[in-house]
Structure 1
């Protein structure tokens, strides 16, 4: 189940933290992410972006909050400085990087 993209406000955090620009995000995911964060079910997006910042610099293209195999996952799509688009899947509760996929 996808919970759509996060809001523009959430992306602004990533722009500041990773030094990037632009995005399109939906209000529904932001509201759901905020609810889950306030209840302690997930870590703040800012915390997770800080964790991946040293290894993944570039432009954030999209952030989605998803439920996969019973766990809540952030999918962060980044266009790296090397020109490669990577999807980084992060456990929203623990901050663990679950997988990294390169787009073809």
Structure 2
């Protein structure tokens, strides 16, 4: 690989995706940086589209309800359950998805 070639963001994000407890994620919710990804979507693919600035795909997911800012009800439920979520950071966003 030459210095000009960039690795596929999916490969990088796959390595950086982890299950993280709500207590560690709560501050990101409080700052408004958390986005919930539905089970119909692949978390890594969504992160890659954010990195690639694929506005069309992101807009379609938002319109379809597959992607949304994490809401207060979700946050309260996750806090009460001390939930563990799949997470990947695509600065400034923290993308989360409930495990199946």
- The structure, 1 or 2, with the larger RCO (C-alpha pairs under 8 Å, 6+ apart) is 2
- Is TM-score (shorter-chain normalized) higher than 0.5? no
TM-score, with structure 2 as normaliser: 0.28
Counting strand residues as a fraction of each chain, which structure ranks higher? 1
Which of structures 1 and 2 has the bigger CA Rg?
Answer: 2
TM-score, with structure 1 as normaliser: 0.28
